[in-house]
């Protein structure tokens, strides 16, 4: 089983968007049994649900999602997952501090041909651009994992 944890700042916008997009991609490929997919935040808005802007984008693209409770990333999460996928440089730096290593840590768009940070829509209020970037990154990540598994 491949265990993936998507990580952003508060675990209510980008990481949850990635979690549910990736779950949908995996489901459409018939690979649900091969993956554990969750999300966390480096400074989580603990207990909060998915941001309404994220829900709106998931609904727009017919991506199913379930009730979510924002959860903070902790040191003991390191052994639970094979991949920690951050959205921006701050997420990457924070994960390295939490875990004390950079093994298993990646930036989502590093799997695409255009490595960059994914803007936080909490600040930009532009969930469309964020959705497009997260979707591209998730598709590229799944392709990477499938190629690696061959």
Q: Across-strand partners of 105?
A: 84
The C-alpha atoms of residue 70 and residue 58 are separated, in whole angstroms, by 17
Angular region, 8: left φ>0, alpha ψ -120 to 50, beta rest = beta
Largest CA distance in the chain: 40
Tokens, residue 93: 């730096």
| 139 tagged catalytic | no
* Given 5, 13, 14, 135, the catalytic residue: 14
Angular region, 100: left φ>0, alpha ψ -120 to 50, beta rest = left
| 13 tagged catalytic | no
* Given 24, 120, 133, 135, the catalytic residue: 120
Q: Across-strand partners of 41?
A: 8, 72
| 120 tagged catalytic | yes
Residue numbers annotated as active site: 8, 14, 120
């Amino acid at each position: 089983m491949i265990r993936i944890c998507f990580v952003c700042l508060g675990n209510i916008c980008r990481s949850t968007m990635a979690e549910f997009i990736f779950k949908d991609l995996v489901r459409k490929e018939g690979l649900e049994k091969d993956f554990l997919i969750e999300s966390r935040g480096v400074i989580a808005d603990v207990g909060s649900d998915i941001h309404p802007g994220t829900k709106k984008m998931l609904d727009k693209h017919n991506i199913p999602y379930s009730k979510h409770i924002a959860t903070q990333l902790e040191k003991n999460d390191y052994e639970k997952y094979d991949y920690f996928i951050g959205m921006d440089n701050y997420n990457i730096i924070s994960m390295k501090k939490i875990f004390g290593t950079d093994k298993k840590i990646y930036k989502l768009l590093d799997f695409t041909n255009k490595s960059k940070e994914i803007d936080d829509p909490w600040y930009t209020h532009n969930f469309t651009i964020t959705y497009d970037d997260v979707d591209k990154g998730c598709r590229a990540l799944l392709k990477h994992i499938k190629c690696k598994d061959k």
